[in-house]
Every structure is written in C-alpha cells, then in structure tokens.
A and B are shown apart, each in its own frame.
Chain A
Amino acid sequence: MPYEYLESNILLNHKISEDIFEMKVELKNITEPGQFFMLRKNDSPTFLSRPLSVYYTDKKTVSFLYQIKGKGTQVFSLMNPGDKIDIMGPLGNSFNTDFCGKKTAVVSGGIGIAPMVYLAHELIKNGNSVDFYCGFKGMPYCTDILDKKIKVFISSQEGVAGYHGLITEIFNPTAYESVMTCGPVPMMKIIANMCQEKNILCQVSMEQHMACGMGACLVCTCETEHGMKRVCKDGPVFDGKELILND
C-alpha cells in the first residue's frame, strides 16, 4: 500500500493518564496493525516529524496514543480538536496476524502498548485467542478498553496495580504458539530470548528516532543478523531471531 501525505483534521486530543495522550484524526485509511504515521504540526518549533503507531482505526479515522517524552510530543499535546496536522502514512510493515485459532500472547511495556491494542483486536478478529501482558512503571492505562475475550495481565514497577514488578517476571512463553512484543529494548530482549530458547515465533516492534519515515534517509536503522535494517521500512516489526538487541 502506498502512503499518503496530507493535512488532516484533529477530532480529539485528550489526556488519558498523567503524561499519556490520545489523538484522533480524520483520515480514510487502510492500516495494518504495527504500522505507523509521521505527524507534524505545520508551524512546529521542532523540526522533524514524529512517528506514532496506530492505536485504533475504523478506516475513516486513526487514533494514536503518545507519551510526552520531549518537545515534539509536547507540541502535539497542546493541539486542539479542529486544528490541522500534517500526516504521512501508513508506513512500515505490520505484524503477521494471519494465524487462525492459535494461542497468541501480546507483551507490551509502557507506551509500547499503543500498537498492541489494535493488534490484539485484529488477532481476536482473525479467530485467535489472545493473552495481553502489559507492564507499566506506575498506573496502568488503556487496559479497560480491551475486548472481553482478551485475558489481561498487568504489572506495575511501583506496585500500584497488578503484579508488583516487571512484566517479564510473570510472562512464560511456553503456553503460546506465537508472541508479539513492543516496549523498551531491555524488555523486548528478554521476551525475544525466552521465545528463541523455546523455539516460539516472536515478532518484535522496534522504535527509533526517524527523519524521512519512508526508507530513504537511513537514520533509523537497527542491527540484525542480515546487516543494518531500516526500522521505518524493513520494520518496525522484525523476527526476534533476526534482531541484535543492544541494551
């Protein structure tokens, strides 16, 4: 699918947790789970666009979940419904959800939950069973909107909800035929290693600072067994066996 580059209307942009926001924009699209868009406010004081993965889409709108991490996301958080935003996408590859009747696990850490919510619902739609493991530093978010068919496991490092500790401490891949993960690299490294030991397919969604977002500039590469690969174009989803994850 070719990407589109256009100006879109913001329909909704609200805070859902301490530094977590949801932005919904008007955009006809066909987006696969794991894909992302590059977004930029037209007169932004920051220079580059920011990649945001898709949290939900109904084909007429796209929703993004983002955490205020720096100036770019702060600019987003101050935008209002009715404002215009430059948007390019959908970009990148996607998770393979093409299983049927399989037992799958989705493992997220922090804001890495964003693409996994959309992914989990697509997995359910395709007839798979989904266990959703989501780790947070403090209070959880977005776990209440998950489909009732999805079994949810929560961890919090601060101990304010669910298991007190890291999500990797309560995850065991042996019960699953396929695992998908997105979050901090140290977490994904543990999950990918666990899966590799048990020879279970593990799809890993990488995050990286980007410039063009479409595969031309080569600044967002990650190390793989097959050389440096572009997170924006060859990824963001990679086979865990292929990635060389450095802490």
Chain B
Amino acid sequence: MTETNICGIDFKNPVIAASGTFGFGREFSQAYDLSKLGGICTKGLTFNPRQGNKGIRCCETASGMINSVGLQNPGIQSFLDTDLAFMNSLNTVIIANLSGSSIQEYVQGAELLDSSKIDIIELNISCPNVKEGGMNFGIKTQSAVQVLEQVRKAVSKPLIVKLSPNAEDIVDMAVNCEKNGADGISLVNTFKAMAIDIYKKKPVFKNITAGLSGPCIKPIALRMVYEVSKAVKIPVLGMGGISCWQDAVEFIMAGACAVQVGTMNFIKPDICLDIVKGIETFMIKNNFKSISEMKSII
C-alpha cells in the first residue's frame, strides 16, 4: 500500500533517510533494521575527499540546529570501495548525494557513480557550507542548469536535483531543471542562517553563515514543496523539518511522492520507522489505497 515508484525505481515506502544525517547507514544499522526504510541518501559525496570545515560545526536553535560540516567525506572512490557494498546489503534503495566544488568535479564524480551499483543520483547544488561550488550553483537558475546539463551528459541513472531554499526563485529553478534533464526534484536543503556568540562577540561559525534545519523550517519547506509540485510533472521528494508521520503526510498531500527525514534522526534514531508505520495507519483509517491517491490532493 505504501509502495511508491520514483523515476522507475520501486520504493517499499515513501520514507527516505536524508543526506548528511545518516552517514552511509552503518551507525543507524545498529539501532534498527534499515531494510524497513524506503531508501537512504548517502552523506554528500565529492570526487575528491574533503576534510570539511574547522571550528564549531553545530549550534542548537529553537526547534532545530545550524550546521557547518562543509561536506566532509572520504571521496567517491573510497565510498565505492569501502561503503557501497555495505549499503547495497541493506536491501533498500540507495541514493548517492553528489556535490562538487566545480562543474568538472561534479562531472568526474557523476561518471564514477554512474558506473556503480547505486540506484539514483541526487545532484546536490544546495550545500550552504562550502566556499566553492555547493549552493553557489543553487542560487541562480542559470548556474543550476549549467551544472545539470553537464552532469546529465555523464549520467544514465535516474538523476534528481536537490534544491536550496535559498534559490532566488525555487519554482523557476525546478521548472528549468525539469526542462534540462532532471528526472526528479528534491527540496529543501538547509536555510542559510547564522548565530553569534555574544560573550566572545564573534559569529559562532568560522564561515559566519551555516545551514538551518529541523522542525523550525517545516512550514516554509512545505510551502516550497507545494509550489514546486504544482509547477513540474517529474517526481518531487519533499523534505525540511519532518519530525513525525503527520508532517510526512502533509508533504505528500502537498505534492511529494516521497519524503526525506533528516535532523530528526538525531533526536530519535528510529524516527523513520515511526513515520513509516504512522503513514500506513493513517492511509488505512482514511481509505487511501496508494501513495499516489494521497499525493497532491491539496
């Protein structure tokens, strides 16, 4: 009943662990059986390994947190050699989140991932925590299209573009990604935010700004998912502050064919399971026979 098909890939259910909050699944696999998930998005991957940002990387806010990890990752080749086999053994859909500091690096990474055993590539043009690349490609539609065009040429696997809520016009960007070869859209990444240490009289983060996530962003994320879903025909994966099954149902009713759950994994490691069960119970009680029946009813 909760099965869903996105870009030709079958998902057991519409609940996916979001990139950057779930590592490569190893740590959470100790908490519960990850085959019960619809899918897992890897930590953001780049062709070259990255050490990430120095200094404080995390700051709690009211109903959320700001992070400045800066895409720390072992590089795509290392991921393929040491982590992908484990992920493939989890019996769930594996989505590789691809980032880069230049179009060339995106393309090199895309080529490697395309010849691997991952199911879907999520093109991350929305990380706010790196100085070069990342979100720089996700503010202006034209830059997003430039990177998408090149990556599309290198990729035959399903390609989803992960958008930034900081985009100048997120609906325009989604429409243009659809026109230029995206098989799906996921949104939203974190909101550009900041915090100040009033005692040190300095910004908390070395980069001054960082990415806000958690339940505090949910209403804005939901609005963006709603608007984008109305404007494109390709599948939309909704995310942003989902903390319970009711939130997930809201995103689906707003137009998402699946949801990604991120920050809330930190608060309750098995939250995704609760959300899967909650959606199913809600569908039975409300006589929805499929996710597509419930999708976009708003």
How far is A88 from B266 in the complex, measured between Cα atoms in Å?
A: 11
A219 with B21: CB separation less than 8 A: no
Of all A-B residue pairs in the complex, the 9 with the closest CB atoms, nearest first, are A219-B58, A216-B23, A214-B27, A219-B57, A2-B30, A211-B266, A212-B266, A216-B27, A215-B27
How far is A209 from B214 in the complex, measured between Cα atoms in Å?
A: 17
B residues less than 8 Å from A3 (CB atoms)? 30-31
Binds A, one of B48-56, B152-160, B280-288: B48-56
Interface-central residue, B62, B72, B263, B267, by most chain A CB under 10 Å: B267
Residue pairs across A and B with Cβ atoms less than 8 A apart, 27 shown, are A5-B31, A5-B270, A47-B215, A48-B267, A86-B268, A209-B56, A209-B60, A211-B58, A211-B65, A211-B67, A211-B263, A212-B21, A212-B265, A216-B21, A216-B23, A216-B27, A216-B265, A217-B20, A217-B21, A218-B69, A219-B67, A220-B57, A220-B58, A223-B54, A227-B51, A228-B52, A233-B27
A residues less than 8 Å from B60 (CB atoms)? 46-48, 72, 209
How far is A228 from B57 in the complex, measured between Cα atoms in Å?
A: 12
How far is A233 from B27 in the complex, measured between Cα atoms in Å?
A: 9
Minimum Cβ distance to chain A for residue B55 (Å): 9
Interface size class on chain A is: 20 to 34
B residues less than 8 Å from A233 (CB atoms)? 27
Q: Which residue of A lies closest to B265 (CB)?
A: A212
- Name the contact of B269 in the complex, choosing from A88, A210, A221, A227 (C-beta under 8 A): A88
**What residues make up the interface of B, taking CB atoms closer than 8 Å to A?**
20-23, 26-28, 30-31, 43, 51-52, 54, 56-65, 67, 69, 72, 214-215, 263, 265-270
Beyond A47-B63, A217-B21, 6 extra complex contacts between A and B, CB < 8 Å = A47-B64, A209-B58, A216-B265, A219-B67, A227-B51, A228-B51
- Name the contact of B61 in the complex, choosing from A47, A221, A228 (C-beta under 8 A): A47
Minimum Cβ distance to chain B for residue A234 (Å): 12
A49 with B266: CB separation less than 8 A: yes
A218 with B72: CB separation less than 8 A: yes
- Interfacial residues of chain A within 25-79, with CB under 8 A of chain B in the complex: 40, 46-49, 72
Q: Which residue of A lies closest to B243 (CB)?
A: A47
Minimum Cβ distance to chain B for residue A47 (Å): 5
How far is A228 from B56 in the complex, measured between Cα atoms in Å?
A: 12
How far is A220 from B56 in the complex, measured between Cα atoms in Å?
A: 8
Interface-central residue, A72, A216, A221, A227, by most chain B CB under 10 Å: A216
Minimum Cβ distance to chain A for residue B297 (Å): 31
Minimum Cβ distance to chain A for residue B215 (Å): 8
